[in-house]
Structure 1
Amino acid sequence: MRTSHTLAATAAAAAAVGLGLVAAVPAQAAEYSSALKIKGVQYDAPGRDSNKCSGGNTKNEYLTIKNYSRSTNVNLKGYKVKDAAGNTFTFKNSHTLQPGDYVHLRGGRGTDSDAGNVVYRQNCNFIWNNDKDTIYFYKPSGARADVHAYTKKANDRDGNGYITYHG
């Protein structure tokens, strides 16, 4: 019985391929090969944009990265975050995320804190565009861990400057 279902499914799949009915695999399908994923992004920091290191609001722009594994701790050291323009941040220090744990990668200057789940880029310039951008997240090996493109109009329906990806 099991064999006939397998053969029927294989024949149906082959017929679909032959007829050109198989949809292309989404470009973001590879993201699921990583325990770490982009949970969300505060791409438009609340308030008037000011990239001054003292009194600016770049620290309110952040990317949330979460460990979606149920059993594996993952060290962020060597992971990279990049935008469409090529601005890149590399996690240079050890920061281990336990299963279900997350970290906010914030703009501006500050002290990284495992207890506070925060890492600062030590750069007061904004990285994420307020109208549209693409967020790339790479493993230390260089393999893509996750990627998301957004536009303010299409992805931020409530207009609060925050987009959730993996909940």
Structure 2
Amino acid sequence: MRIRYALTAAATTAAVAALGLAATVPAQAAEYSSALKIKGVQYDAPGRDSNKCSGGNTHNEYLTIKNYSKTAKVNLKGYTVKDAAGNTFAFKNSHVLEPGDYITLRGGRGTDSDAKNVVYRQNCNFIWNNDKDTIYFYKPGGARADVHSYTKRSNDRDGNGYITYHG
């Protein structure tokens, strides 16, 4: 009976592969070998969206990146964040995250501060879509550090515009 089952499983696997029906794994299900991961995103800034540099609310749209290592310090210099449309932000300066520390990447203009754990994109346009988007986070060499897709309907049940990924 075991032999018959093994042949049946093998035949089923071959048929699925031949038909191109292999299951696809959602992007956010993959785990990457990176101490740095996306902790959460405020994809919809509170209030009416206004991308004016003066008086707008793009600084209220942000991405939080955390160092989940228990021992290693990690420098963000060279890491890159992208959205599904290809909008990109590259960390050009050194920002060392201690184990368990985090940094907030905010829209708008401002002064980066390691003491306040904040980096500004120096761009007043919104990067994350309010209905759905994908957040890609890359290591300096181009390897993927983390990725998450979201839809407002599926991932933001309380409707506050914030989604937590890694606690």
Q: Same fold (TM over 0.5)?
A: yes
Distance 1:96 1:17, change over 3 A: farther
Q: Which moved more, 1:91-100 or 1:27-36?
A: 27-36
Using the alignment, how far apart are the partners of 1:27 and 1:153 within structure 2?
Answer: 18
Q: Could you tell me which residue of structure 2 aligns to residue 129 of structure 1?
A: 129
Q: Could you tell me which residue of structure 1 aligns to residue 65 of structure 2?
A: 65
Using the alignment, how far apart are the partners of 2:134 and 2:159 within structure 1?
Answer: 18
Amino acid at match of 1:139: K
**What TM-score, normalized by structure 2, do the two folds share?**
0.86
How many residues in Structure 1 have an aligned counterpart in Structure 2? 154
Matched ranges for 1:135-150 at <5 A: 135-150=135-150
Q: Which moved more, 1:137-146 or 1:26-35?
A: 26-35
Using the alignment, how far apart are the partners of 2:157 and 2:82 within structure 1?
Answer: 24
Q: Could you tell me which residue of structure 2 aligns to residue 92 of structure 1?
A: 92
Distance 1:130 1:24, change over 3 A: closer
In structure 2, runs of 5+ residues without a counterpart are 1-5, 17-21
Using the alignment, how far apart are the partners of 1:97 and 1:132 within structure 2?
Answer: 29
Distance 1:23 1:91, change over 3 A: same
Query: CA RMSD for the aligned pairs?
Result: 2.0
Is contact 2:32–2:144 with CA below 8 Å preserved after alignment?
Answer: no
Distance 1:56 1:30, change over 3 A: same
Amino acid at match of 1:144: R
**What TM-score, normalized by structure 1, do the two folds share?**
0.86
Give me the identity figure in percent: 84
